[in-house]
Structure 1
Amino acid sequence: MELRIHEGNEKEHEENYEEPLLDHEDEKLIKRALIDFKCKVEDAMHGNYLFGIPDTHPCHNQTTKEIEQLNEIKLWGVALMPSKPHEGTDTLLLKFLKSKNYVVHEALEKLRKTLAWRKEFKADEILEENLGPEFQKVAYLNTVDKEGRPVFYHVYGDLKDKPMQYLEKMRSEENSEKFLRWRVQQMEKCIKELNFEPGGADSLIQVIDWKDFQGPHTKELRSVYRKCWTLLEEHYPEIIHQYIIVNVPLRYYVSHSFSSRLITHKPSNKIIFARPGKVTETLLRFISPENLLVEYGGLKRINDNEFSSEHKVFELNLKAHASTHIEIPAPEVGVTIVWDVTVVEWDVTYKEEFIPEDEGSYQVLLQDKEKKGGETLCVRNSYYINEAGMISIFIHNHINKCKKVFYRYKTKPTVPTYLLYKT
């Protein structure tokens, strides 16, 4: 039987990411489930079987020290004892409930398994481990989404430059375990950035880049990656608000869409796929342009000395087969104007020039070239203003599709270089 994926189905996977709103009855059921869950968690803690340990010490025989130890049981820094809660206790317990569709006994079993796994895996001490430099380029935590959630990037394609011998080592159980521990370590670092108190950012966005993550040289790594996926689903419930998998080849899009359903036992609207031509468009639904990395078509650069997320970003809609002008006023002499411009998926004619106010002065061409659709990096340029005028940016859209243009600029005082050498 031939399997076909239609464009409409793919679009459904890419865009169906909004969670359904809860009605009043649903909210009542959730509150009731939370109360029941809290009672069962407290019973398990007092009965000393939260970790699966038999109840050998009845509650009335517990010493003060044992009771204090129960009160100090924490997960991700949040106290679990419902009668002496942390401000984030309800938020944390709700994550386990939600992951099991608010079935209380299943949520309790998941919590018990998670605590037992963390004890066996030594997850609470993993931040202190030195797991080597092999995967440093693969993962990094950078910026936040539109709701203030941390955005965590995994760029597995960076491993394509690793020697074949190293990737083949992933076949061994020891190295697979090391990769798993590294992945858990990254997850624990991300959780340090979360706030489980009411109103805080209690989940994160996971961007997974599959560019160049294919071919026989990554076979072992893909196998370990699947183990990581299962582990995170089991022991980090609802910590990842959204998976955004970008640069997905068609065959992996098909296989992963089915395997993810098998792993989670239900169609997941938490997983968004973006084919190579729709990466920037997809990410901009979640991340504002000033917080989206330039590698993905945004304006943010690592260790940027010119702009921050506080600088205002302007947005233009560029119609199909149409042109637009951006005019940056430059009335003040003796300053430098710096600007960033990005066009979603590019494929435009792009031209910059300085136009002086004095009609007798010459216009200065700063840049004039075609920007192809495969490009993602935003344009950054600057110009020292020695006479009043404006920076004019001309953009022409070649294709039959509307595009978004984002830009920002600033003025900074500048001492001309030739003055620095004057005696």
Structure 2
Amino acid sequence: MALRTNHALRHPFLSPLLSSKPSVRTGKFSVRCSSVDSHEARKLVLEAKEKLEKDCCSLPVGKNGRDDEDMIYWFLKDRKFVVEDAVAKLTKAIKWRQEFKVSELTEESLKSIAETGKAYVHDFLDVNDRPVLLVVASKHFPAVHEPIENEKLCVFLIEKALSKLPDGKEEILGIFDLRGFGTENADLKFLTFMFEAFYYYYPKRLGQVLFVEAPFVFKPIWQLAKPLLKSYASLVRFCSAETVRSEYFTAETLPADFRE
């Protein structure tokens, strides 16, 4: 269950073009997709790549750039293999990565805010072999840090979690530990940013979100946030700390925050 060290440097996008069938799980596609076989998928990737080169030549190339075939393939899957839609969404994502300077985010540059312990990537996978991004809401004080600093930490940790995906796995688990949450921890703007980041820039990468031990004061925040999250709201599960312990981890892999 422990993470293997060679995963730490993996590209955050998988390389499904090497398989005989694209691994698609939603909409009209299935794990063994009959409507788009590997040959057709390859053609669509090259078509999207050529379109990006022609229409968006100013975009960067290389890893996470307009010629990154793994990234192109992932956005094609997300947009049900409609090239125009995939290119439009991918163009926005690449521009965002460039403007947000995602590649420049490092442990060192975020050391101060990371040391608050408000969020981190767990050292172990969950029982479904998903990397785990854990947020400790009681340690989040929006009045203390600039919003952009919280957003940078969020993106850095998403990237870190994705880099730990085992071969054949595509999604991560998000856990919001809401024990001790108070009104001073409420941050609708950040919650919205996080879900929008997953929707626009890391589509289909968030497998599930656990809201653990949500207190009564959190309910109004959720009622405001839920309509903004749209389909992502369906990924949320309200649960107890005991559920986290019994259903998502083994005794050896349980996060320290949930050990009794």
- Give TM-score, length-normalised by structure 1: 0.47
The structure richer in helix per residue is 2
Quickly say closer, same or farther: Cα 1:126–1:253, change in 2 above 3 A: same
Quickly say closer, same or farther: Cα 1:255–1:100, change in 2 above 3 A: farther
2:213 to 247, 253, 262: 247
Q: What is the aligned partner in structure 1 of residue 185 from structure 2?
A: 218
Following superposition, the deviation at residue 118 of structure 1 comes to: 0.8
Quickly say closer, same or farther: Cα 1:23–1:202, change in 2 above 3 A: closer
Instruction: Determine helix, strand or coil for the equivalent of 2:46.
Output: helix
* Contact map agreement 1:205 1:243 (CA 8 A) in 2: yes
More relative contact order, 1 or 2 (CA 8 Å, 6+ apart): 2
How big is each residue's C-alpha offset from its partner over 1:250-309, in whole Å with a ceiling of 9 and x where there is no partner? 463575367345334x365422221xxx33225533323331235425xxxxxxxxxxxx
Instruction: Determine helix, strand or coil for the equivalent of 2:35.
Output: helix
Percent identity between matched residues is 18
Match of 2:181, as an amino acid? F
* Contact map agreement 2:131 2:173 (CA 8 A) in 1: yes
Corresponding pairs, count: 233
Any stretches of 5+ residues in structure 1 without a counterpart?
1-18, 54-68, 82-88, 161-166, 298-376, 378-423
Note if 1:75 corresponds to 2:50: no
Quickly say closer, same or farther: Cα 1:222–1:176, change in 2 above 3 A: same
The CA distance in 1 between the partners of 2:113 and 2:53, in whole Å, is 44
> RMSD between aligned alpha carbons?
3.5
Quickly say closer, same or farther: Cα 1:287–1:96, change in 2 above 3 A: farther
1:183 to 154, 160, 174: 154
The CA distance in 1 between the partners of 2:41 and 2:215, in whole Å, is 41
Instruction: Determine helix, strand or coil for the equivalent of 1:47.
Output: helix
The CA distance in 1 between the partners of 2:114 and 2:53, in whole Å, is 42
Instruction: Determine helix, strand or coil for the equivalent of 1:117.
Output: helix
Q: 1:20-419 to 2 correspondence within 5 Å?
A: 27-31=33-37, 34-35=41-42, 37-47=44-54, 49=56, 73-75=62-64, 80-81=68-69, 89=70, 92-127=71-106, 130-136=109-115, 137-142=117-122, 143-159=124-140, 167-170=142-145, 175-195=146-166, 199-215=167-183, 217-219=184-186, 221-250=187-216, 252-253=218-219, 256=222, 259-264=225-230, 266=231, 268-274=233-239, 278-282=240-244, 284-293=246-255, 295-297=257-259, 377=260
The CA distance in 1 between the partners of 2:83 and 2:188, in whole Å, is 34
- Give TM-score, length-normalised by structure 2: 0.72
Following superposition, the deviation at residue 226 of structure 1 comes to: 2.4
Quickly say closer, same or farther: Cα 1:295–1:218, change in 2 above 3 A: closer
The structure richer in strand per residue is 1
Instruction: Determine helix, strand or coil for the equivalent of 1:189.
Output: helix
Any stretches of 5+ residues in structure 2 without a counterpart?
1-24
